[in-house]
Amino acid sequence: MKKILDLLKEEVTEAFVKAGYDEKYGMVTISNRPDLCQYQCNGAMAAAKQYKKAPIMIANEVVAILEKSDSFKEISAINPGFINIILSDSYISKYVNQMREEGHFGYTLEGEPYTIVVDYGGPNVAKPLHVGHLRAAAIGEAVKRIGKFVGHNMIGDVHLGDWGLQMGLIITELKKRQPDLPYFDPDFTGEYPEEAPFTISELEEIYPYASGYSKKHPDYLEEARNATFRLQKGERGYAALWKHICNVSISDLKKNYDRLNIHFELWKGESDAESYIPDLVKYLKDEGYAHYSDGALVVDVKEEGDTKEIPPCMILKSDGSALYNTTDLGTIVERVKLFNPKAIKYVIDKRQDLYFQQVFRCARKAKLVGDDVELTFLGFGTMNGKDGKPFKTRDGGVMRLETMINDVTEAVYQKIIENRDMNEEEARAIAEKVGVAAIKYGDLSNQASKDYIFDLERFTSFEGNTGPYILYTIVRIKSILAKYKELHGELDTELKILPAFSESETALMLQITKFNEMIDVAFKENAPYKVCQFVYELANAFNRFYHENKIVTEEDKDKQASWIALCQYTLDMLNQCIDILAIEAPDRM
């Protein structure tokens, strides 16, 4: 289904051509003065120079043709040459009904669907999620869901930090604490226990202790490096321990991600790239892409036109060991082999920008990806406290993500029980959904690349541009439909939406018509905040319509039926938008 802007452009362009002007001047945009009109065309201003005519004369000629059309309630030429457009109510309602009939909110994918891998999350095993992990997870999940809605095959990969020295440190500390475990017995040939020899709590204590201890004891650090080497060479006992570490960690990570309604198609990690690295290194050497510099193997990635120094991409350190660059390049090789994606998007802290420039340039220079494959770095800013500094606990430590979720849901719970009479179990369940919505919407409503202030009071408010306000609007519509059903029986899904009876109803329908344009931009720009802007404006438009009309008690049955159909479609669209944001709404609040 064509977007409403495209339909208007076609009609206005045809009028320009009929009036004897080039079709390029028929561009239509949403009005930047909604108090004056809904859409505008400034083509006459641009055409004036080419045709050596006053722009108002050109605008008047075009308007004379367009004012005969049933599409417009009002169309006028305004000095010095603007064309202001107000659509007819019948045109708007007809478009909304067509969106309903076509399904999928009238959205049609342009071109063929393709595979996109989204790399987001990036937690380390054996470490708890902290508030810094929220942005990657929330943004990445939304980017993935936007792509899925428009019709592409989206694959979300958590890309765990599950390899390297941190594993050696954990194994070394475990051996120190529990030396009699069979994993450390070189003569053990039986099956290793299925149950891990540690809990997630113990694991989360072991790693920071071992890391801190290694910094003060060189012999311990050397032992950890040796353990890492033996693991990477496939030593049986160490490999079994590593599996335990990963399984216990992933089980705990899934619980936290599930609370945020974030779900990955792949739970791969850095370790999955290991098998690709030897061939990758050989290929880079054999094809002449890599060379040695001060003992290290590097690929030069600077390009003509660079305005700043771009260091080489290091493949192997002087001691022959691989780096993150190597692992990320190996992961690209794996993804191309397994999924043949048309695009790979990385949702990472924006401070990693230079690093990913190096990796992407190396991948392209070495032809690890085709010229038609998009490699995109979606760098996000930091979540800050009210002091403008990265969000911390009261004692200055890094706050666990689980703690933040608990604090926010508790604040919402207190607000609910202050204003509602409901049992604790129901209030807690509602507070969980509303609290998660407060956190995620508070994050996603900001442009990803910008830093933002985490404000508990503002984010949990039931008024303004917040998650709870959006959910409250959804619950309000559910209540209206439930009351109507109670009085009149089942809702008729065949009901048509009639031309608007009031300005607030027109505004609501007009907002609905903008959905397709919004979702297209959100996908092309990797911008979940565009969905937030739209859903907030849709909620505002509905609430204004609701306050100005007595929907349930309306005596004109045709008018009421149309309003009910409009309420249902608004609810469907709101639900679709929050689903894209990975937010869920309760049935009441």
Nearest to 103 by CA among 1, 4, 7: 1
Alpha helix stretches (DSSP H) within 217-286: 218-232, 236-259, 277-286
**Per-residue pLDDT at 208:** 93
- Regarding whether 420 and 535 lie in a shared domain, the answer is yes
Q: How would you classify the pairing of strands 82-87 and 39-41?
A: antiparallel
Question: Is residue 74 helix, strand or coil?
Answer: strand
- Regarding whether 571 and 436 lie in a shared domain, the answer is yes
- Regarding whether 171 and 79 lie in a shared domain, the answer is no
What are the counts of helices (DSSP H) followed by strands (DSSP E) for the chain? Answer: 20, 13
- Using the predicted structure, report yes or no on whether residue 120 has a pLDDT greater than 70: yes
Tokens 């220079």 locate to 365
**Per-residue pLDDT at 490:** 83
**Per-residue pLDDT at 493:** 81
Of the residues 201, 236, 259, the one at which a domain ends:
259
The amino acid at residue 270 is E
Tokens read off for 454: 């985490």
Q: How confident is the model at residue 394 (pLDDT cuts 50, 70, 90)?
A: low
Backbone dihedral angles phi then psi of residue 56, each to the nearest 5 degrees: -65, -30
**Per-residue pLDDT at 396:** 67
- Using the predicted structure, report yes or no on whether residue 4 has a pLDDT greater than 90: yes
311-348 tens-digit pLDDT: 999 999 998 889 999 999 999 999 999 999 999 999 99
d(C-alpha 250, C-alpha 260), whole Å: 15
Q: What is the mean pLDDT of residues 370-399?
A: 88
Lowest mean pLDDT among 84-93, 125-134, 214-223, 375-384: 125-134
State the CATH number of the domain containing residue 34.
3.30.1360.70
Tokens read off for 372: 């038609």
- Regarding whether 183 and 69 lie in a shared domain, the answer is no
Question: Whole domain around residue 33: which residue ranges?
Answer: 4-87
The answer to whether residue 146 is domain-embedded is no
Q: Number of structural domains, the chain?
A: 3
The answer to whether residue 461 is domain-embedded is yes
What percent of the chain has pLDDT above 90?
Answer: 92
**For residue 282, what are the CA distances in angstroms to 275, 278, 287, 322?**
13, 6, 8, 13
Q: What is the mean pLDDT of residues 494-516?
A: 96
Q: What's the sign of the alpha-carbon dihedral 56, 61, 64, 70?
A: negative
Q: Give Cα 102 to chain centroid, integer Å.
A: 26
- Regarding whether 417 and 559 lie in a shared domain, the answer is yes
Of all helices (H) and strands (E), which one includes residue 204? helix 200-216
Q: Is the peptide bond before 80 cis (omega within 30 degrees of 0)?
A: yes
- Using the predicted structure, report yes or no on whether residue 392 has a pLDDT greater than 90: no
d(C-alpha 77, C-alpha 33), whole Å: 15
**Per-residue pLDDT at 494:** 85
Compute the mean pLDDT over every residue in the chain, rounded to the nearest whole number.
Answer: 95
- Using the predicted structure, report yes or no on whether residue 529 has a pLDDT greater than 90: yes
Of the residues 27, 52, 87, the one at which a domain ends:
87
Cross-strand pairs, 377: 346
Nearest to 567 by CA among 497, 519, 494, 513: 497
Backbone dihedral angles phi then psi of residue 84, each to the nearest 5 degrees: -95, 135
The answer to whether residue 24 is domain-embedded is yes
195-230 tens-digit pLDDT: 999 999 999 999 999 999 999 999 999 999 999 999
- Using the predicted structure, report yes or no on whether residue 391 has a pLDDT greater than 90: no
- Regarding whether 553 and 463 lie in a shared domain, the answer is yes
The answer to whether residue 573 is domain-embedded is yes
35-56 tens-digit pLDDT: 999 999 999 999 999 999 999 9
- Regarding whether 567 and 429 lie in a shared domain, the answer is yes
154-172 tens-digit pLDDT: 999 999 999 999 999 999 9
**For residue 376, what are the CA distances in angstroms to 206, 546, 571?**
36, 42, 34
The Cβ of residue 52 has, within 10 Å, a number of other Cβ atoms equal to 7
**Per-residue pLDDT at 421:** 82
Quote the pTM value: 0.95
Tokens read off for 438: 């407060």
Nearest to 462 by CA among 482, 438, 439: 438
- Regarding whether 572 and 482 lie in a shared domain, the answer is yes
**Per-residue pLDDT at 376:** 98
d(C-alpha 352, C-alpha 49), whole Å: 47
d(C-alpha 226, C-alpha 236), whole Å: 15
The answer to whether residue 71 is domain-embedded is yes
- The residue ranges of DSSP E strands in 96-214, in sequence order, are 115-119, 153-157
Cross-strand pairs, 117: 155, 344
Nearest to 164 by CA among 335, 314, 334, 324: 324
Of the residues 63, 87, 111, the one at which a domain ends:
87
State the CATH number of the domain containing residue 477.
1.10.730.10
